[in-house]
Every structure is written in structure tokens, then in C-alpha cells.
Chains A and B, each alone.
Chain A
């Protein structure tokens, strides 16, 4: 395998996941370049989270291949795990302990050497603007602070690829802005590649260099936001229009049902 700087940091080949008869992700083939922010958009149930779960080793693919940072997803899951960070769609910080303690646990799980541990934890808190509340219990954090803590947690081991599943769902506009800013700085600062999913077209437009539109497990459009918009042929087309064109029909039917609604909304509930 070539190690030239232009080779993709993440590559999938016909990656597929079925649940029984149902195909949640259907022969997904895409690649992410080093340092790129790559977006996955699509209606509820399109297969975005399932894709990320496969790429983060949580869910075995039914068929197909993927390599991340040069490691094969199936053959080398341990090395893949060392190379990635993950901020799940659902809340993942532990409310019963402090922000500092949340980071401490993950610094140890990632075997960050003792000499560096404190520095990494302090840096991550500082970077995410949480130094002042490090010793507060997370149950007293706001939704935006929790999200930033989760990103800090996923960053301490300097992953090559960071997966963010709906990083700003349920956040107020200010908190969302803060998270966007951190995401952009993070890429500039650490050169991390990002794969993120979102339902906010404005967010995808602002952050992502390339976007894949997923619908019923398939990628139905892929390109830069500008190219996707231009492909509609209409002047002033927005990403919203792109979404509607490629994935808009039957949104009501494909809406994923109670299970998805519960999962997504639970993230919003935690903000109360």
C-alpha cells in the first residue's frame, strides 16, 4: 500500500450492512482524504449511523471492505481503534463524574503515557473551553458543554480520523456556533480528518469539503457543496434543494419510526 500523502485516510469498498432482510447500508464506496471534513447527510434511517458504527468497529459489516489509516477494518480492528476517535449520536460523557475525570478515564484507556497524561487532559479542556468547569460534575453541564467535553475526550489520543455523529443536534444556536468553531480549529490544529453526519444543511455547507447524500443505504450524490448545488442547474440552489432532490421523496415514510425518533430526541432531552 502506498503511503504518499495524497492517498485516502479512509476508504470503503462496497461496504454493506443488513439487518435480517433489510439493507441499512448498501454497497457504500467512498474515500476521505487526509485533513478533509467529509459530511454524510440524508433523511432519518438513511444509514448514516450504521455506516459510522461499522467504520468505528462497533458493528461488523455484512460484506465489503474498509481501511482506515492504512489498517483493514476486519483484520486489524485494534489498530483501527487506536487511529480513530468517535463522538456518538447519543450522549457519551458520564454524568456521574466530573469533566476532568471523564478525560482521565479515556487518557488511560488509550494508554497515553503518564508523563503526558496531565498535559493532554489540560490541553483538551483548554482547547474546548472547559478549563473553568473541569471539576464540576457533568450532570451540571449544559448541552453545549457536554458536546465539547465529548469532542475533547475523542481527541486526547490524537486520532487520525474523528467520527462525529450529529455533533450539534439539540444545541442552541450559540452552542452550535461554538462547536463549529472548535471543529474547524481542530482540523487546522491537528490535521485530523473528520467524518460527520448532520441534519442541518447550513452546518454541512459551512463545514464540509465534500458531502455524500445517503438515501436508503445508498450514496445518491457525492461532491463538494458547490458542485452539488451546481448540479441542480438552478441559480441560487441551496444544499436544502440538493437534499430534497436526492432524498426528498417519501421522507415521511422513510422517517425511521419510533425507535429513531426516541434516539434522536433523547439527545435533545439531556439539555434540560
Chain B
């Protein structure tokens, strides 16, 4: 196409149809996604190393609390109840530090190159959020294999599995975009790591990941209900435990996850360009 040839000076903006805009946007999204995939392919070590913590939670915490029966999870065993919670936790843990990549790219000049390209900001941010789901899915796979190894009975209906995949993609996009927002605000590694540590445990404990809402103290319950992780856990439990109906209908869980992800993406699209100033 001729707009790439430098000998034809563009004087008035060439008309860009909506179809062209969409197809270019998709191609740009594929570029960001592909870059992330190639990075993971060159160095997958982080995926394994981030899975250690959830594995320990499932094996040790899960093992101990199953045997002492203090958390009421009938009709499910505690390990059954816990598995979707740890799955959500593993997605949270690998996503919440995702923003460190933006900080590294800011300290170098990489971010400026992305921002100088004609890629719309919302695609730069949205595609990064979605590409974080590759990391989330890898964690999910490890946790599910581990749970199967521990003999946990889960629902393997194909439709339910597809739902699990979608929930994890949304959850990973949500928390990695949140992480990018934090990175855009604090801008330095030290502060980012501090805030990441500070945020992880409250998000995890103020959710229904390891105990049902019903056993929480009354003051914690509203906090848990405002915590997106609760909705990820709820969706995963509904999908993975045979016969489980969940706190909320599935569509509510998915609507909350999607809505929050879209909101965070819009916010980060505004903040991200400031990283290059």
C-alpha cells in the first residue's frame, strides 16, 4: 500500500474505514500477544517458579485443614472446596506482579517505542492484559494436575472446562491490568514490589478462596463482596464442583469480572502514556 512509500507525501489524512481500523487493531493486538508468547517460550522458568506457592497451599494447607474438619464445606470435601480457590489464587499471584514488566520497559526506552507507534492506547493495554492470561492458564493447568494427583473430584464437563478457561482469562486480565495501573502510578520497582506484597495477601484473605463467606466475621464480608477475586473463585467453584450453584449465578460472576476488567483497561489506557513522559 502506498502510504508506506516515503515518496508519496500524505497531505490530507487518508480516509480510514471502520473495517480497516478494526483489522489493523486486531493485527496490533496479535503483535503484543505474540511478543508475550515469544518471551514466555524463550524463558518459561517464571511459570514454574510462581506455581510453587499455590502448590504448597494446596498440599500443606489443604492437607492439614482437610484432616481437622474445622471449615464447614459440606457437601464437598475441604480439598474440593479449596481447589478452585487455589486456582484463583495462582492466577492472582502470577498476575499481580505483571506490572513489573512495564516498569522495566519504562526504565529502558521500550515503552516510548510502543507509544510512538500508531497503535491505539487501549489496544496496547488491552492486549497486554489479555496476553497475561497465558501465564494464568499455565498456572491453572499446574494446579488442576496437582489436584487430580491428590484425588480431588472435579467436574470435567467440556462446557464447564471452557467456562473455567474464560474465567481464568478474565481474572488474569483483571489483575494484571490492576498491576499495570499500580506500576503506572508508582513508577519505581521498589515501591511497586512493596505495594504488590501489601496487596496480595489482603486480596487473598478477604475473598472466599480458602473459607466460605458464611464463616467470615461480619465486617469482612462486605470487603470480600467488593473483592473481584471472590467472583473469580465463585465462578470457578460453580464450574468445577459437581452440583455447586455458587453465591451468585454464573452470569453475575462473569459480568463483574468483565466489567471490572474493562474499567481498569480504560483507566490504564489513560495512565500508560504518562510512563513515557
Contact = CB atoms under 8 A, between A and B. Distances in A.
A157 B4 contact: yes
A180 interface: no
A53 B9 CA distance: 23
Contacts, number: 118
Interface in B136-169: none
Interface of B: 1, 3-7, 9-13, 24, 27-28, 30-32, 34-35, 38-39, 42-43, 107-110, 112-119, 273, 276-277
Contact of A86 (B7, B9, B43, B113): B113
A71 B42 contact: no
Contacts of B24: 111
B42 A76 contact: no
A94 B35 contact: yes
B7 A70 contact: no
A115 to B, nearest CB: 10
Contact of B38 (A101, A108, A111, A112): A101
A96 B9 contact: no
Interface of A is mostly: loop
Contact of B276 (A58, A70, A82, A91): A58
B30 A108 contact: yes
Nearest to A83: B10
B189 to A, nearest CB: 14
17 contacts: A1-B11, A56-B112, A57-B116, A58-B112, A70-B10, A71-B10, A81-B118, A90-B112, A92-B108, A97-B38, A101-B35, A105-B32, A105-B34, A109-B119, A110-B117, A158-B5, A160-B6
A92 B7 contact: no
A69 B39 contact: no
Given A56-B116, A58-B273, A266 B107 contact: yes
Given A3-B11, A78-B118, 6 more contacts: A70-B9, A89-B109, A92-B108, A109-B118, A111-B24, A158-B6
Nearest to B101: A96
A168 B38 CA distance: 29
A56 B117 CA distance: 9
Contacts of A249: none
A191 B113 contact: no
Contacts of B273: 58
Interface of A: 1, 3, 53, 56-59, 69-71, 76, 78-79, 81-86, 88-94, 96-98, 101, 104-106, 108-113, 116, 137, 153-154, 157-160, 190-192, 266
Closest 10 CB pairs of A and B: A90-B109, A88-B109, A108-B31, A92-B109, A109-B117, A81-B118, A86-B116, A111-B24, A92-B113, A91-B108
Contact of A108 (B3, B28, B115, B276): B28
A157 B42 CA distance: 27
B31 to A, nearest CB: 3
Of the listed residues A1, A105, A116, the one surrounded by the most CB atoms of chain B closer than 10 A to its CB is A105
Given A90-B109, A97-B35, A112 B114 contact: no
A82 B30 contact: no
A15 to B, nearest CB: 16
A91 B13 CA distance: 32
A113 B1 contact: yes
Nearest to B29: A108
A90 B117 CA distance: 17
B2 to A, nearest CB: 10
Given A59-B277, A96-B39, A113-B1, A3 B109 contact: no
A137 B115 CA distance: 23
B108 A81 contact: no
Contact of A94 (B11, B13, B110, B116): B110
B6 A159 contact: yes
A108 B34 contact: yes
Contacts of A59: 276-277
Contact of B6 (A96, A111, A191): A191
